[in-house]
Amino acid sequence: MNKYIYPLVDNPFRKKDLDKAIKVIKTRRITMSTNVNAFEKQFSKKINNKYSTMTNSGSSANLLAFQCLINPYRKKRLKRGDEVLIPALCWSTSLWPIIQSGLKPIFVDVDINNLNININDMERKLTNKTKAIMLVHVLGNCTNMKLLLKLKNKYNLTLIEDTCESLGSKYKNNFLGTFGEFSTFSFYTSHQISSGEGGMISCKSKDDYEIIKSLRSHGWSRDLSIHDKIAKQNKHLDEKFIFYNSGYNLRPTEISAVIASSQFKDLNKFKKEKNLVRDQIVKKFRDNILINNYLKITNATKNCDPFWFGIPMILSKKINRNKFVNLINKQGIETRPIISGNFTKQPAIKKYLKTIKYKLPNADLINENGFFIGIPFNKMSNNLSNKICDIFVKNLKISKL
């Protein structure tokens, strides 16, 4: 039994999702095949992004985006030392693929109101070596995409949208993940839809798509539209085993594909239900004077229609965050940091990057005073939302500095 009355995640799988998985297992065809293909098409059609490739995780999708960007088959490719802007409030595997691909991350501060990349700081960090933006859409919310796209176009930057936390969110009626050259998604257990593990990378260019498909599967050519041509040029090789590119094995299983597909069909329904649960809690919090005084709940950015991943909030500096969070955890409300906080504070950074000299005050504030609670259920009782509110009030009072 879950020890929390309000956990970050509850069991995300419905009977109908699991029945589909069992049916696949019974066919004994578990490795990537027609169900993965079908889900990729279904995904592309709904999200309105031309080419989609399913992966075993969102992290793998991010790795593929950067490995594609530096790939020798790419006409306009990034070179060692090229700079990539990334918000300091990011996930580990939003960042590492940049470094693993020989590129240089430049950390940008975030906007305290929406937790997303700060456009002014982004503009300040641009140099003539800046070639790309790794945008992270935080917990369902986004930055001012109009201004971001203006900068992207003005400086001819490649945009990668890490949409791993924001599937189903929209900006001006377009899904997040449709603005950049690449976008990535995660179907990990706590996300908007889940297949346990799983991810997707979408892109706009057929050439990129072909590179990605080859990189996903060992670098071989058999999944590519130009496979016949390659086979003709390599008659000395068995055509099923022609290695045309470098590669990994980042493939998903058929089981993940059918579960993700089953959940994806109900994306709009999930969005409605979970956002309603959030609204109920947020209303209770906003109606309470004490909570309002000490806690700032993140709002949606103008023109963003989020599918909230959680309910992020920032405590006043007058509250001891760690004490407060420990207390509410003990009393049944599970919390976690907002993504990984300011990622430049993580010990791994020291091993891989030179000391970061510039200041990131908003990311610091979120690191020190931020946290989020989940939206584990698709329904919320009045009783439970009152209880959550009471636990917050009681512990805010005793966590004052």
Active site residues: 191
Q: Which of 57, 141, 262, 395 is in the footprint of ligand PLP by CB under 6 A?
A: 57
Which positions from 143 through 162 interact with ligand PLP, judged by CB under 6 A? 162
Q: Which is nearer to ligand PLP, 12 or 199 (CB)?
A: 199
- Each residue 306-345 as x (binds ligand PLP by CB under 6 A) or -, in order, gives ---------------------------------x------
Dump the DSSP string for 126-141.
--TTEEEEEEE--TT-
| 64 touches ligand PLP (CB under 6 A) | no
Closest approach, Cβ 176 to ligand PLP, in A, equals 12
Query: Residue number with the shortest CB distance to ligand PLP?
Result: 58
Question: In whole angstroms, how close is the CB of 68 to ligand PLP at the nearest point?
Answer: 16
Q: Nearest approach, Cβ of 113 to ligand PLP (angstroms)?
A: 19
The verdict on 136 binding ligand PLP (CB under 6 A) reads: yes
Measured in Å, how far apart are the chain's first and last C-alpha atoms? 35
Interface of this chain with ligand PLP, residues 162 to 221, rule: CB under 6 A: 162, 164-165, 186, 188, 199
Block residue for tokens 């000391």: 355
Pairwise CA distance, residues 135 & 151, whole Å: 13
CB of 294 to ligand PLP, least distance (A): 27
Min dist. Cβ of residue 312 to ligand PLP (A) = 12
Query: Which segment (14-22, 28-36, 52-60, 350-358) binds ligand PLP by CB under 6 A?
Result: 52-60
> What is the separation of C-alpha 165 from the centre of its chain, rounded to a whole number of angstroms?
4
Burial class (CB in 10 A: 0-12, 13-18, 19+), 393: middle
Q: Residue from 66, 91, 220, 307 that binds ligand PLP (CB under 6 A)?
A: 91
Instruction: Please report how close the Cβ of residue 94 comes to ligand PLP at its closest, in angstroms.
Output: 5
- The site for ligand PLP, by CB under 6 A, has a size of 15
Per CB under 6 A, the segment of 65-73, 88-96, 205-213, 280-288 that binds ligand PLP is: 88-96
Sole window of 51-59, 78-86, 231-239, 358-366 interacting with ligand PLP (rule: CB under 6 A)? 51-59
Instruction: Using CB atoms within 10 Å of the CB of residue 321, give its burial: 0 to 12 exposed, 13 to 18 middle, 19+ buried.
Output: buried
**Cα–Cα distance for residue pair 134/117, rounded to 1 Å:** 10
| Token pair recorded at residue 337 | 């940091």
Task: Say how far apart CA 109 and CA 272 lie, in whole Å.
Answer: 31
Instruction: Give the tokens for residue 62.
Output: 């991010």
Single-letter amino acid, residue 120: N
Closer of 162 and 181 to ligand PLP (Cβ)? 162
* Residue 281 CA from chain centroid, whole number: 24
* Separation of alpha carbons 21 and 12, rounded Å: 14
Tell whether residue 40 is a contact of ligand PLP (CB under 6 A).
no
* Nearer Cβ to ligand PLP (78/97): 97
Task: Provide the strand spans (E) within 173-259.
Answer: 174-175, 182-186, 199-203
Joined together, the tokens standing for residue 115 give 């937790």
Q: Which of 285, 287, 344, 277 is nearest to 309 (CA)?
A: 277
Q: Shortest approach of ligand PLP to residue 185 CB, angstroms? A: 8
User: Of 201, 166, 171, which Cα lies nearest the Cα of 339?
Assistant: 166
Question: How many residues does the structure list for the chain?
Answer: 401
Rounded Cα gap, residues 199 and 187, in angstroms: 5
Q: How far, in Å, are 60, 75, 133, 294 from residue 82 at the CA level?
A: 21, 16, 11, 42
Q: Which stretch binds ligand PLP (CB under 6 A): 54-62, 210-218, 240-248, 374-382?
A: 54-62
Q: How far is the CB of 173 from ligand PLP (least distance, A)?
A: 23
Judged by CB under 6 A, the chain residues 15 through 34 that form the site for ligand PLP are none
Is 250 or 319 the residue whose CB approaches ligand PLP more closely? Answer: 250
Binding site for ligand PLP (CB under 6 A): 57-59, 62, 91, 93-94, 136, 162, 164-165, 186, 188, 199, 339
